[in-house]
Amino acid sequence: MEKYIIRVNGAEYEVEVEKKTAEAEHKGKEITAGTAGKVWKVTAPEGTSVKSGDSIVILEAMKMEIPVIAPCDGKIEKLFVSEGEPVEAGQKIATVI
């Protein structure tokens, strides 16, 4: 927390501001597919603890394997896809808390 003094129309107010970290921005955030394809493999089912950069699912697109990765440390709260399911670019894959 950082403290600041703000003056409004001659009156002073002391406020505390908490800086939001990059990791905090991702907590509870939905993870989406970066490209259209098919879910080849689920690597982190619901309830799995993940670290930033860990694979959540692997998509298959044009015979390439494309990992969808966790943006932060946390736990997979909800998985919205299953193996073999087609996905569109921007489709919700999971939420990390």
Q: Residue 69 belongs to a domain with what CATH number?
A: 2.40.50.100
14 within some domain = no
Distances in Å between the alpha carbon of 50 and those of 21, 22, 27, 46, 77? 18, 16, 12, 11, 11
Q: Please give the pLDDT value at position 21.
A: 60
Evaluate whether residue 3 is within a structural domain: no
Whole-number pLDDT of residue 17: 82
pLDDT recorded at residue 22? 56
Write down the pLDDT at residue 26: 53
pTM metric for this prediction: 0.69
Q: Which structural domain, as residue segments, surrounds residue 50?
A: 23-96
Centroid of chain to Cα 85: 20
In this structure, is residue 11 part of a structural domain? no
Is 61 part of any domain? yes
Residue 10 is assigned to a structural domain of this protein: no
User: Length of the chain in residues, anyone?
Assistant: 97
Please give the chain's pLDDT, 97 residues, in tens: 788 888 989 899 888 887 766 555 555 788 999 999 999 999 999 999 999 999 999 999 988 999 999 988 899 999 999 999 999 999 999 999 8
